[in-house]
Structure 1
Amino acid sequence: MLMLTYYGHSCLLLDDGAHKVLTDPFLTGNPTAAITADAVAADTILLSHAHGDHFGDAQAIAERTGAEVVGVPEVLGLLRLPGAKLHGMNLGGTLVLAFGSMRMVLARHSSGVAGGCACGYIIRMGGKTVYFAGDTAIFSDMKFLGERDAIDYALLPIGDNYTMGPEDAALAAKWLGAKHVIPIHYNTWPIIAQDPEEFKKLCEAASDAKVSIVKPGASLELA
Structure 2
Amino acid sequence: MLQFHYIHHSCFTLNDGKTTLLFDPYLDGNPEGLGPEDIKADVIFVSHYHGDHLGSAYAIAKANDALLVSTAEIANDAASHSLRSYAMHLGGTHRFPFGRVRITPAFHGSGIAGGHACGFIVEFGGKTVYFAGDTSVFGDMALLSRLEKIDVALLPIGDNFTMGPKDARLAAELLAAPLVIPIHYNTWPVIAQDPAAFKRDVEATTHSKVEVVEEGSTLDL
Tell me if TM exceeds 0.5: yes
One-letter amino acid of the structure 1 residue matched with residue 158 of structure 2? G
Aligned 1:87-166 pairs, distance under 5 A: 87-166=86-165
* Deviation digits for residues 159-204 of structure 1 (CA, Å, limit 9, x no counterpart): 0000000000011000000100000000100000111101101111
Distance 2:50 2:204 in 1: 33
One-letter amino acid of the structure 1 residue matched with residue 14 of structure 2? L
3-state SS in 2 of match to 1:38: helix
Distance 1:165 1:188 in 2: 14
3-state SS in 1 of match to 2:190: helix
The Cα shift of 1:148 comes to: 1.4
Aligned 1:178-197 pairs, distance under 5 A: 178-197=177-196
3-state SS in 2 of match to 1:78: helix
One-letter amino acid of the structure 2 residue matched with residue 2 of structure 1? L
**Runs of 4+ with >4 A deviation:** none
Distance 1:33 1:118 in 2: 27
2:3 is matched with which residue? Answer: 3
2:29 is matched with which residue? Answer: 31
Q: TM-score, normalised by structure 1?
A: 0.95
The answer on whether the counterparts of 1:4 and 1:15 sit within 8 Å (CA) in structure 2 is: yes
Q: TM-score, normalised by structure 2?
A: 0.96
One-letter amino acid of the structure 1 residue matched with residue 118 of structure 2? C
- The sequence identity of aligned pairs, in percent, is 50
One-letter amino acid of the structure 2 residue matched with residue 88 of structure 1? A
Distance 2:26 2:181 in 1: 18
Distance 1:168 1:33 in 2: 28
Gaps of 5+ in 1: none
Q: Considering only aligned residues, what root-mean-square deviation do their CA atoms show, in Å?
A: 1.1
2:212 is matched with which residue? Answer: 213
The answer on whether the counterparts of 1:32 and 1:188 sit within 8 Å (CA) in structure 2 is: no
* Deviation digits for residues 77-136 of structure 1 (CA, Å, limit 9, x no counterpart): 4334336x1101101111211221111111111100110000000100111010000000
Distance 2:31 2:115 in 1: 27
One-letter amino acid of the structure 1 residue matched with residue 69 of structure 2? V
The Cα shift of 1:205 comes to: 1.6
The Cα shift of 1:206 comes to: 2.2
The answer on whether the counterparts of 1:102 and 1:124 sit within 8 Å (CA) in structure 2 is: yes
The Cα shift of 1:32 comes to: 3.3
Matched, 1:81 2:86: no
The answer on whether the counterparts of 2:181 and 2:211 sit within 8 Å (CA) in structure 1 is: yes
Gaps of 5+ in 2: none
Distance 2:114 2:20 in 1: 30
* Deviation digits for residues 5-60 of structure 1 (CA, Å, limit 9, x no counterpart): 00000000000000110000001xx2235322110111000000000000010110
